[in-house]
A and B are shown apart, each in its own frame.
Chain A
Amino acid sequence: MAVPVAAVRNVTKRFPGVVANDGVSLEFNAGEIHVLLGENGAGKSTLIGILAGMQQPDEGEILIGGRPVRITSPRASLELGIGTVFQHVLLVPSLTVIENLMLGGPWWRNLLRGPALARFRELSQLLGVEIDPDAQVGRLSLGEQQQVEIMRALWRGEKVLILDEPTSMLTPQGVKDLGAVMKRLRDKGVALILITHKLVEAYELGDRISVLRLGRLVGALPPERKRAMSEQEVTDAVIEMMFGTVAQHERDAEILVGRGRRTHRARHVDRAGPPRLQARGLATQATRGACPLRGVDFDLWPGEVLGIAGVDGNGQKHLAEMLAGQRAAASGTILLDGRDITADAVPERRRRGVRYVTDERLGEGTVGAFSVATNLVLKEIGAPPFFRRGVSDWDHIHDHARALIKRNDIRTPSEKTPVAKLSGGNIQKVLLARELNAEAGVVIFNKPTYGLDLQNTRLAHERILAGADQGLATIVISTDLDELLEISDRIGVMFQGHLAGIVENGPDVERKVGLLMTGAKAA
């Protein structure tokens, strides 16, 4: 049998308090797509970091073509022919495509476009894509940027290509294109490593599947076994590897399988009455690094969940901030129960029942160094009953906090613990506890489950739906389409600052939303 192009043997990597990789051994073969599956914290990213030269293993070795090597820096990794496409785009937006690809060349040499362009054409052909080498990267679509990233990863050799959650930022069409590129590269003899937590992708693209859990390799499906199985069998086998017995974690598995077994619960929303929230022609000023709004209209009824989909950076942040009162409107009006609240600031909107759960849980949402208790009254600083004549009433604040901690199952050593010490899921619970109290009428969630593990994702979804069932008008902004398909009643798509269209959740909604995400008109 042929020697694997790359392999890790008994790799262990410890961080303070965690073993990120625990004696992991894996082989990567030429002409094979090897899928690494696992939840957050399973150790996928650490393993990639080790292969990419960002981190050093504490124990174990890395073999390239059968020879043990040490990968001490990103440069060393590239020179061994290992290219990595990270989860977040690592291109310089102000430079052109070809300049980005030339980046990292020997600085004492002349910058020569000729040879670079030749290599560019070679790789374009290999990938089967067409991109203008002189286009500024910041102007390309995310899908195109990712293709440039793949070229960058292959630039100095095309032995191993690592893709870390490459589909998370893409439109459905972009995902399809990426799959085609990956299969093409596999057929040309590249060893591909695909990191994902989506089972569907693993089944569709992977030749070999390995499953990591809590830093250990807990199971693998070699190609000959995987080929002999149906999608259902593969899914069941992998879920069993990831969670042990299936019955115990049925819900987790359902979320994981995503669209395969989506559980959209059709809810009844009464749209006969007047809408709770009306947005008319909302627009904002452009700011550095964020897409402004250019005329957004929608109506939102009590008890309804309106999902806002779209590729990141199409105005979602401005929409959320504007509805919350944190960003001034350039034009347009917001009506709450028919009353104009456009000019109202945050405290006034909060008093009227508008709540905002930000995507920046630590930073915008909470003050990390402050205690859980203080963060729970953060939006009522100075107001009675927690503050009397401007002086904090600590007994009252701490009682309030203890009650909320208990009711919301916030796992914290005490109410006086700084909130930054909590896990992401628990910080999210603090935010939800603060925002979703009895007086809430409209809630805006911005990426409510971003970075959360499955269990906390499920809890957050239940919380959102429970709120809606009690009559809250709810907006959920997310880049995870599967999430929106699961919990929304209607889905709107943001595209370049416009709300490109709003469609009812139901059969065929995915195709419609996919079309809207690329800028096509509502189908």
Chain B
Amino acid sequence: MDSLLTEAFLTSLLFGAVTAGVPLLLAGLGEQVSEKAGVLNIGIEGMMLFGAYAGFVAAYCSGSFALGFVAGGIGGALVAALVVLLCIRYGLNQIVIGIAVTLGMEGLTALLHYFQFSRTYPRLDLAPAWALPLLSDIPVLGRALFTHNPIVYLAVLLVIALGWLFRATYIGLNLEAAGNKPAALDAAGVSVVKTRAFAVLATGFLSGIGGAYMANIGAGLFVPFMTGGAGFIGIVLAMLARGRPVWVLLGAALFGISLAMTTALQVAGINIPTDVVQMLPFAMVMLVLVIFARHSVLPPALGLPYVRGER
């Protein structure tokens, strides 16, 4: 057991936690925006997956990681646009469409990948990391937490930015009203459809970036079905966070660590069957849900399409 406390183990665990946690953070924050506005966005897994594919292809063809993230965000937003059209504009069932979007994107990305790369899985070069001055010199923590791609720092800054957006802007008020009492927002002269459309597109953009991060930074390649439930963990995070971005950050850290266990335990040479280790994050999801889900507070209008004049 000594090997668990070595510098190498801790560094690899924490570094891996960040790598695994950032996509969850982006997905969770994105889902939070949708849920605030009263949209239960089950399709987030599909948005991540398409973002991962689009981001990978862009980075692969251009060699630019920044372009990869932009493409990932746009890819996710494109899938979100489909959800906007079907669920927000035409008021179809959000859960059914969400599942359809996820399944559809699993198929579509696998198919596109096959057409483009056949059965090969080309790798990207190692992504550039940006070591934060001073902070990165701290032993263990410096290497693990402060030597990452700039998008990681942006994702953390986004937590603060969203907290401010929700609390202190008209956009935040509109989102809150759209999720709590859409009729009130409508009566105040703000379009519920536009507000929710904005929220869902933002979700798609953020989760698409999360997917691109998974492919380009986390794995360095695209494999079909690679998101493996990260979007669903994002939904859980958003539900448990009660509209507070900082709780999404904490949740993402928790799940990031449990995901990173997979690789860290292998580095440490501890012999546990990988199937058991890989189950860990999902066992964690269930555990967290059992403990905390009783206290989650969801907006009253969550999942309900808004039709003017109906109550």
Taking Cβ atoms with an 8 Å cutoff, the residues of A that contact B are 49, 52, 54, 73-79, 84, 86, 88, 90-95, 99-100, 102-111, 152, 288-289
Contact = CB atoms under 8 A, between A and B. Distances in A.
Contacts of A94: 176, 180
B189 A91 contact: no
24 contacts: A54-B308, A54-B309, A73-B189, A74-B186, A74-B188, A74-B189, A78-B189, A79-B189, A84-B187, A90-B181, A92-B176, A92-B180, A95-B176, A95-B180, A99-B173, A102-B170, A103-B177, A103-B184, A107-B174, A111-B168, A111-B170, A111-B172, A152-B187, A289-B300
Given A92-B180, A99-B173, 4 more contacts: A94-B176, A103-B188, A104-B188, A109-B170
Interface residues of B, number: 23
Interface string B58-81: 000000000000000000000000
Contacts of B124: none
Nearest to B299: A94
A91 B184 contact: yes
A95 B181 CA distance: 10
Interface of B: 168-174, 176-177, 180-181, 183-190, 300, 308-309, 311
A104 B309 contact: no
Contact of A111 (B169, B177, B180, B183): B169
Given A91-B184, A94-B176, A94-B180, A107 B189 contact: no
Contacts, number: 74
Interface of A is mostly: loop
A163 to B, nearest CB: 14
Nearest to A109: B170
Contact of B188 (A88, A111, A152, A288): A152
Contact of A107 (B171, B183, B187, B308): B171
Interface of B is mostly: helix
B72 to A, nearest CB: 26
A152 B181 CA distance: 15
A77 B181 CA distance: 20
Given A49-B309, A102-B170, A111-B168, A74 B187 contact: yes
Contacts of B181: 90-93
A289 B299 CA distance: 11
Contact of B184 (A92, A105, A106): A92
A105 B168 CA distance: 13
Given A49-B309, A90-B181, A93-B180, A105 B170 contact: yes
Contacts of A49: 309
A436 B208 CA distance: 59
A371 B188 CA distance: 41
Most chain A CB atoms below 10 A, which of B176, B177, B300: B177
Contacts of A100: 184
A93 B190 CA distance: 17
B197 to A, nearest CB: 13
A49 B190 CA distance: 16
A79 B187 CA distance: 12
Contacts of B172: 111
A107 B170 contact: yes
